[in-house]
Chain A
Amino acid sequence: MLEIKDLHVSIDDKKILKGLNLTVKAGEIHAIMGPNGSGKSTLSSVIAGNEDYEITNGSIIYKNENIEDLSAEERANKGIFMSFQYPVEIPGITVTNFIKTAINSNLKARGQKEMAANEMLKKIRDKAKLLEVDSKFLSRSLNEGFSGGEKKRNEIFQMAMLEPSLAILDETDSGLDIDALRIVANGVNKIKSSSNAIVIITHYQRLLDHIIPDYVHVLQDGKIAKSGNKELAFELEEKGYDWI
């Protein structure tokens, strides 16, 4: 699904990723952990196609295709989804209107027909229920005045609607209380299947209590310093990142 080879990335001439390797197969859940400033968010931004970052070396292969030259929307059209650490507020556009535009844009890009309004409504209601999203919330302006938890839940709701092949959850657990964390984790677990993959980027092991990763990687100074299974996350929580 995703193969990152010797990836070097800079922003404003500052080197952030310095030779990162990562392979994710369909059906897998990977957790990437690391201290602040280790390059976690850079990794997710660069996979999603943020043009502020410059790839100076290495490659990102997604479904056997080098995606370096693809725009953010082309990557999304191909099934890459990123849950933002800080979702953007857009006053004046409702959540529903936004999600409908997104779904139809993706369908169009894949050469498919737009989704009929009633089908869309049904899907919105189903997924809203799945993620315990209030219907009032759907007619509010996108992320405007949302609490931290609501924003994150909205991200996962969009993920459920868009049904990506590869989902990157960037610090999705930050700012969530325990109930919201449980709802988000449940949502992710329900969406999870053998045909998609999830990369969870996180500072803490908290979310990993609810979503069990197949692999845990420790990112330090722009590289994967250590890889292992779920146990590694526990160890990290106990001993801190200095231990590596």
Chain B
Amino acid sequence: MSLKEKMVSSFLAFELDTDINTSVHEIRSKSIKDFEKIGFPAKKNEYWKYTPINKVLNDKLTIFKKKRHLIEFDKVKDFFLSGIESYKIVFIDGSYDPLWSNTSHDGVDICILSSIIENKKYENLIKKHYNTIVDKNESFSLLNSSFSKEGAFIHIPKSMELDKPIEIIHINSGGESSLMLQPRNLIILEKNSKAQILESHYSLVGKNDKSPYTYPGFIDPLTNTLTEIHVKENANLDYYKIQNDLETTSLIDNTYINQKRDSEVSCHTFSFGGNIVRNNLNFFQNGQNINSIMKGITILGGNQHTDHHTLVHHANPNCESYQEYKGIYNGNSTGVFNGRVLVDKIAQKINAFQQNNNLLVGDKASVNTKPQLEIFADDVKCSHGCTIGQLDDSAMFYLKTRGISEHEAKGLLTYAFANNVLENVKMQALKNKIKKIIANKIGVNLDFEL
């Protein structure tokens, strides 16, 4: 049986264990039907041109978990931000873990989606927001909409400036082979509210690790996550993603962000790990004076592959978008950037900027990039730039004449190359964490700040 057939036929069994009397379940039934029609992306699918996603779509993958696996805190403590108070929503193998979570219903909802879906009180809110901005023609979004029932639910009420950042952490215990996880997050920021959210995915055990669970033929978990974010008038969201997983685990991430007038959303994606990582980051601007910011640092090695697909749909006048992605590719790794800016006819006075810079370091590393503009309005300022290259020779020489070793000079320049993406990270604890990961990745020690 192909994986597609297997997924479709799993739906009946999935329903048995699911509350089917909710509005969300209608969406699930519809989605699985649509998925059955499209299936997984075909080989020649332009949207998947540079990412061999079929490589990770193993027939043995299943959405059913056999049992709950326990994890020691020591193994996961580094995943959390340190030296800072935060709300936490933690999932292990797709199930909520109350032990390490720190949720709230105190004037704000920072909790789990399953409890909200089944709660009559939230019925209208769910109807208004759930699955309303998701691409109904995208295979993995449909699959997630079919099978997801757990994830973070965040609802920030009007005019609230959230006191602490929120961490959403998904952990794969690696306790069993072939698991396909379908986390789903729904985030709503009401008018004039403000929040900072950090989302990360980690796996504890991969097929190359020695563990009681792994065995020859062990298949790493595949995470197919979907996040829907609604940002209302004049609200402000900083969203951060850390993708620093094992070299063997893969991630497909669909994020949909719907912005209303005067709102600002920035999304930083830090991709340092994983086997195949695919990000589909979609922004819809439904109002004037909106600002959408996308930034990313990707540092890969080995046979890793990361693909950033972004879409900004400028559907209204007087808006801005800003994209800046930097990639550093070692070993045999490959990077993809496909940035799409779409400007509707009525969307005059748009300022759209797109920049993608890449350093090719590894002998077998490669980069595919496609910054694409589709413009139907005339009074706009749109530009994109992209570079692929190496570290500057004259800068290397300059550093060496100051006595800095080749290795360290390379590290320093590489760090400098990526550094400005961090400029707008407002959470200092996170900034430190990322800097540490980068320094570690490129093998330099740069803990000194005046």
Contact = CB atoms under 8 A, between A and B. Distances in A.
Verify that A and B bind, or say they do not: yes
B404 interface: yes
Nearest to A45: B397
B400 A72 contact: yes
A96 B402 CA distance: 13
B119 interface: no
B401 A92 contact: no
A109 B405 contact: yes
Nearest to A125: B450
Interface string B81-95: 000000000000000
B215 interface: no
A96 B448 CA distance: 8
B419 interface: yes
Interface in A69-90: 71-73, 75-77, 80-82, 84, 87-88, 90
A109 B400 contact: no
Contacts of B211: none
B403 interface: yes
Interface in A116-164: 117, 120-121, 124, 138-139, 141, 158, 162
A146 B107 CA distance: 50
A97 to B, nearest CB: 6
B401 A91 contact: no
Interface residues of A, number: 38
A49 B405 contact: no
B446 interface: yes
Contacts of A141: 416
B397, B415, B418, B419 interface centre (most CB from chain A within 10 Å): B397
Contact of A158 (B397, B402, B409, B418): B402
Contacts of A211: none
B404 A50 contact: no
Contact of B448 (A92, A97, A109): A97
A92 B418 contact: yes
Given A73-B406, A73-B409, A81 B401 contact: yes
A92 B417 contact: yes
A88 B398 contact: yes
A105 B413 CA distance: 15
B186 interface: no
Interface string A87-116: 110111110111011100110010000000
Contacts of B401: 48-49, 72-73, 75-76, 80-82, 84
Contacts of A158: 402
Contacts of A121: 450
Nearest to A158: B402
Interface string B390-413: 001011011111111110110011
Given A73-B409, A97-B446, A92 B400 contact: no
A90 B413 contact: yes
B398, B401, B409, B412 interface centre (most CB from chain A within 10 Å): B401
A71 B400 contact: yes
Given A90-B416, A92-B417, A73 B448 contact: no
A86 to B, nearest CB: 9
Interface string B408-440: 110011011111100000000000000000000
Interface string B356-397: 000000000000000000000000000000000000101101
Contact of B450 (A48, A90, A138): A138
Contact of A71 (B395, B406, B418, B419): B406
B449 interface: yes
A98 B448 CA distance: 10
A88 B417 contact: no
A92, A105, A106 interface centre (most CB from chain B within 10 Å): A92
A76 B403 contact: yes
A87 B398 contact: yes
A241 B136 CA distance: 78
Contacts of B394: 88
A201 B378 CA distance: 55
B77 to A, nearest CB: 27
Contacts of B409: 73
Contacts of A102: 399, 402-404
Given A73-B409, A100-B448, A93 B415 contact: yes
A162 B395 contact: no
A151 to B, nearest CB: 11
Contact of B403 (A77, A117, A120): A77
A84 B404 CA distance: 16
A81 B448 CA distance: 24
Given A97-B448, A105-B403, A92 B420 contact: yes
Interface in A33-89: 48-50, 71-73, 75-77, 80-82, 84, 87-88
A105 B408 CA distance: 8
Contacts of A98: 399, 402, 412
Contacts of B416: 90-93, 141
Contacts of A77: 403
A127 B332 CA distance: 45
B412 A101 contact: yes
A91 B420 CA distance: 8
A83 B449 CA distance: 25
Contacts of A80: 401
In the complex, the 8 A-B pairs of residues with the closest C-beta atoms, listed nearest first: A92-B416, A76-B403, A92-B419, A72-B400, A106-B403, A102-B402, A73-B400, A88-B398
9 contacts: A72-B401, A73-B402, A73-B403, A76-B402, A77-B403, A81-B402, A84-B401, A101-B408, A105-B405
Interface of A: 48-50, 71-73, 75-77, 80-82, 84, 87-88, 90-94, 96-98, 100-102, 105-106, 109, 117, 120-121, 124, 138-139, 141, 158, 162
